[in-house]
Amino acid sequence: MTPKCFLDFWRRHKKKILITASVIGSGYFLYKQYDYYSRRLQVIQRELDNEREADELIKAQIQAHFEHIQRIADTTTLPHAIQHLQTRIEEDLDLSHLTERLMMGKGQPNTLTLAEKLDLWENLKILSFTKMVISLWAITVLSLYIRVQVNILGRHMYVDTARGLGSSHLLEEAELVDRNDEQKFLAFSDFLSNYGLNTLIPRMQIAVAEVLKSKQLRDVFDTTTLRETTIRIIKIFMSTGRPHHWLDYLMPEDKQSSIRGTLSTDDDATVTNINKFDQLMMETRAVLLSAEFGNVVERSLEVGVNGLMEEMEGSVGGGGSSSTSGTPLARLVPRVSQMGPLLLEDPRKTRFIQMIRGIPEVEIFFTLLYANTVPAS
């Protein structure tokens, strides 16, 4: 084609050529953009898939670690604490001096006056129920408290060691748990035995005396009466005094709370600069003060009372309508005094702890706690 013909062709088809070129250019540009974003989307999708795989791996390991932590609590920490608790309760609520004096009075009728006998029986009645209900309350609440401790500690330890799996959002930055902090933290499972009982026993004894003041030794008890009596003692004990007063029997005073109350707002940075041990203690207190934990304690005590009644049924008699059913309180008191040591047997050998562990609400609570989703009070 000659230059003249080309120019004529250009003049005649200039608009069409430009439109065609524009369409082709736009199409190529769109193709390149589509190819770029397709590749970018594939990269992002692979990253998301990798992150999901890492999260699933972490979740699976958290679950396995959670189950391992439960075994530690049930086979090591709890048996040690319960054994120590049993020793202290037996020492502080030793009833042998009362039973020995009553037996002496029975063998030698002139050694005790009627008033002295009645006073001994009254003390034996109060202290026997105190021993039984304290044992029930203590093993229930202490077992829950230790599980809270071990779950909080286990989660912190897992987060500390799981960072090597990557920067998943499931892993939070946290200070490492020092071995000394770990031992110091777990040692507070003995706080109830070493310190809490000193206040717990007289407080429980007041609740028992309030409930039993109208109960005579000749009154007939069946399982229904005994259940109602036990539940009423627990309710009076739990509701007397300031809210969550029972927490003082399990843990020392919250020093961080006292510090926060004395510092100005300019000193807030000092409060947040706490060590791992203080953090573990604060988290534990927050969980124990939560409404969710309160519900777990209440439900566990209900199940504990039912288990206690099953153990006592052979000694008490059924709650039927027959006038011969039931046992006079005087004959029931010795059996009541024996229930404390039975409740505080090695938890690896008794079904009492297993009954509490089998409560659905309890298992849900601790599963959520380990995942760090139980809100504070």
Delimit the domains of the chain by residue range.
76-254+274-314+324-371
Residue among 69, 86, 168 at smallest CA distance from 131: 86
Residue among 251, 359, 242 at smallest CA distance from 301: 359
Tokens representing residue 341 in the block:
């040591």
**Cα distance between residue 156 and residue 192, in whole Å:** 24
Question: Would the pLDDT of 170 be above 60?
Answer: no
CB of 177 closer than 8 Å to CB of 158: no
User: What predicted TM-score, i.e. pTM, was given to this entire model?
Assistant: 0.76
Q: How many CB atoms are closer than 10 A to CB 130?
A: 28
**Cα distance between residue 262 and residue 135, in whole Å:** 38
- Treating both helix axes as pointing N-terminal to C-terminal, what angle do 78-92 and 197-212 enclose, rounded to 10 degrees? 60
pLDDT at res. 156? 76
Residue among 156, 172, 196 at smallest CA distance from 284: 156
Higher pLDDT, 285 or 275: 285
Question: Would the pLDDT of 8 be above 50?
Answer: yes
Question: Would the pLDDT of 375 be above 50?
Answer: no
pLDDT, average across residues 104-121: 82
Residue at 301: amino acid letter: L
Look over the chain and give the mean of its residue pLDDT values, rounded to a whole number.
79
CB within 8 Å of 135: residues ≥ 6 apart: 89, 339, 340, 341, 343, 344
**Token pair 């397709």 in the structure block, residue:** 38
Question: Would the pLDDT of 155 be above 70?
Answer: yes
Return the minimum-mean-pLDDT range out of 36-40, 113-117, 208-212, 267-271: 267-271
Question: Would the pLDDT of 318 be above 60?
Answer: no
SS3 377: coil
Q: pLDDT-based confidence at 72, cuts 50/70/90? A: confident
Q: pLDDT-based confidence at 20, cuts 50/70/90? A: low
Question: Would the pLDDT of 82 be above 50?
Answer: yes
Return the minimum-mean-pLDDT range out of 80-84, 158-162, 276-280: 158-162
Residue among 255, 256, 225 at smallest CA distance from 319: 225
Number of residues that this document lists for the chain: 377
Positive/negative CA dihedral, 309, 311, 312, 313: positive
